[in-house]
Every structure is written in C-alpha cells, then in structure tokens.
C-alpha cells in the first residue's frame, strides 16, 4: 500500500510544478478577433484592418520595471494606419492610477505636433467595461487613444486613421470590446 501511495502523492503534488502560469501577452488572433485569456477580453477589429505581427513593430524597449506589454496590432494594408494595443500596469512607479491619468499623459503634445484635441468621452459599454476616449488630429491625421481598465492594468488602444470615418469605425470596434467567460 505504501509503495502505491508514494508515486501517487508525488504525481499529485508535482502537477503544479508543470502547470504554466498565464502572462499578460497570452492572447491570440482568431478569425476576426483578438482574444486575451489573461485579461479575459475579446476585441473584434474593423474589416478594413488586418492583423499585423507585433514583433515587426518598432516599439520602444520595455520599461525596466516591466510594466508594458504589447498585445495586438492591426493595419490598413501596407499603410501605417491602424491600431496598436498595449497593456500598462498601474502602480506607484508609473504614477498611472486611472485611465484618466493615462490620457493626461498621452495628451502632453508639443506645439510642433499641431494637435487639435476633441472633448474626451467617458462611458461604460454593454459588457460593463469603463472606457475613456481621447480623439485628436495630429498634423491632420485623425487619431485616438482609448483606454479600458482591467484589474490593475490599463489596456490602451492607439489608433491612427486615413479618415475621420475610419477612426470612428476603429473607436466603435473598441467600444464593443467583450468579456471572455
């Protein structure tokens, strides 16, 4: 009896050692959506965008405190217009305590950027996500920063578009973000 019990106990107690913990970057592209199992959300991009390999983006180096995670990107053909999705951990180190703080940080434009900002929007979508949105034009390019708070992270969607109509479609797609069960 003792000989059978020992291997069984070793097996059961050893299982957690082989279990893999999740990471913020645990997301994948499905047919028409990006699903992130760590943050438990699903995002469906507009049909005029195609997923773009995040490893091919020239994204600045991660912060030394490892607070930023590049999640997803979609582009309009070979153009630079599209969406980049980043998760930013809120904490004392970054001074980010809310989506409003994050948009304040984004909105620190320099005069040479020729930015025209529109009034911010704050709303809760059908799945209960609180969303903060800042629309603006930079050198005539319609752009937005849309932020969703999930636990202690801010999920930031940065959009650049060819037209105001395309930007509105991108913002609507973000507003329709859904919770994964």
d(CA 154, CA 96): 9
Instruction: Give pLDDT, residue 61.
Output: 53
Average pLDDT per 10 consecutive residues for the chain, totaling 181 residues: 49 48 89 96 97 76 69 91 92 75 87 91 96 94 95 94 97 97 86
**Domains of the chain listed by start with CATH number:** 22-179 (3.40.1000.10)
Entry pTM: 0.84
Distance spanning both ends of the chain, measured CA to CA: 42
Instruction: Give pLDDT, residue 112.
Output: 87
Instruction: Give pLDDT, residue 150.
Output: 94
Instruction: Give pLDDT, residue 145.
Output: 96
Instruction: Give pLDDT, residue 9.
Output: 46
């Amino acid at each position: 009896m003792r000989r059978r019990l020992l291997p069984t106990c070793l097996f059961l107690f050893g299982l957690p050692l082989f279990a893999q913990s999740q990471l913020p970057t645990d997301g994948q592209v499905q047919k028409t959506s990006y699903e992130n199992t760590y943050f438990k959300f699903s995002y469906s991009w507009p049909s005029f965008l195609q997923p773009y390999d995040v490893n091919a983006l020239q994204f600045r180096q991660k912060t030394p405190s490892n607070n930023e995670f590049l999640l997803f990107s979609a582009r309009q053909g070979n153009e630079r217009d599209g969406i980049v999705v980043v998760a930013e951990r809120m904490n004392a180190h970054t001074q980010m305590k809310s989506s409003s703080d994050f948009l304040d940080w984004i909105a620190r434009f320099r005069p040479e950027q020729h930015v025209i900002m529109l009034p911010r929007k704050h709303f809760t979508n059908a799945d209960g996500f609180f969303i903060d949105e800042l629309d603006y034009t930079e050198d005539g390019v319609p752009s937005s920063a849309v932020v969703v708070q999930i636990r202690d992270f801010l999920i930031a969607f940065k959009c650049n578009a060819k037209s105001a109509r395309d930007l509105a479609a991108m913002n609507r797609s973000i507003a329709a973000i859904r919770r994964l069960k």
